[in-house]
Amino acid sequence: MQEYFANSIFFGIFLTIFMYQIGAAIQKKWPLPIFNPLLISMFAIIGILVVTKIPYETYEQGAKFIGNLLTPLTVCLAVPLYRQLKVLKENIAAVLISIICGCLAHIATMLVLAKVLGVEDVLRNSVLGKSVTTAIALGVTNELGGIQGITIIGVVVAGVMGPLVGPTVLRLARVKNPVAFGLGMGSASHAIGTSKALEIGEVEGAMSSLAIVVTGILTVIIVPIVMNFAG
């Protein structure tokens, strides 16, 4: 069986889509944050690979093609942003200030936690870019001399936790403005958080997609500068 799957690039594609559809069906039946399709499919695929002893490399042969769609998908997020240009222009100052504060808060939090917990510098440097897309996060990690594997884990956790707890936290904080809601989701959990924001509303999705871009740019600029002073 392993030889059959190893020779088929469709295995990873089929398994990914199939398990995600199952996760989506579960969420539709029980619309709770814990039943996030991405979270369900991720653990299901891991379980299947472990039980069947199919190497990850075999699964990744096909799954990588789905991963390659992330970049054009991110570009497509410009569509809802274009539709909400009027809202953006009316709130441009608040939008920029919010994203800058969010970026600085994330970097400061990571530095303080690393100091308090006594985390080694290489691990600290590996998670400083976890709230941006994978490509940007890996670039930051390479520049700081971190570990790419740790960075990817951080990006995945940030992305999954955003849709899982983000809307609840924002509601508890009484954030009702759709612009603020979208900025919070995009700044904290990049593309995955934006997909959740789009489910809630187009304004939320548009602001979240904007937050992805600006947060990524600011992270690339600010992190090296901060690290020069932090040592």
- Tokens read off for 217: 């740019």
Count CA atoms closer than 13 A to 197's CA, side-chain side: 37
Confidence (pLDDT) at 22: 93
Q: What is the pLDDT of residues 18-39, one digit of tens each?
A: 998 998 899 888 877 778 787 8
Map tokens 């997020």 to a residue.
77
Sequence ranges of the domains in the chain = 2-68, 76-230
Here the tokens at position 212 are 């992805």
pLDDT tens across 149-174, in order?
888 888 888 888 888 888 888 888 88
- Evaluate whether 166 touches 189 at the Cβ level (below 8 Å): yes
- φ/ψ of residue 30, rounded to 5: -125, 85
Q: What is the pLDDT of residues 42-93, one digit of tens each?
A: 889 999 888 888 888 888 887 878 777 766 776 776 777 777 788 888 888 8
pLDDT at 40: 86
Query: Which segments of 78-147 does DSSP mark as H helices, in order?
Result: 78-83, 85-90, 92-117, 121-127, 134-144
Burial 84-118 (b: 16+ CB within 10 A, else e): beebbeebeeebeebbeebbeebbeebbeebeeee
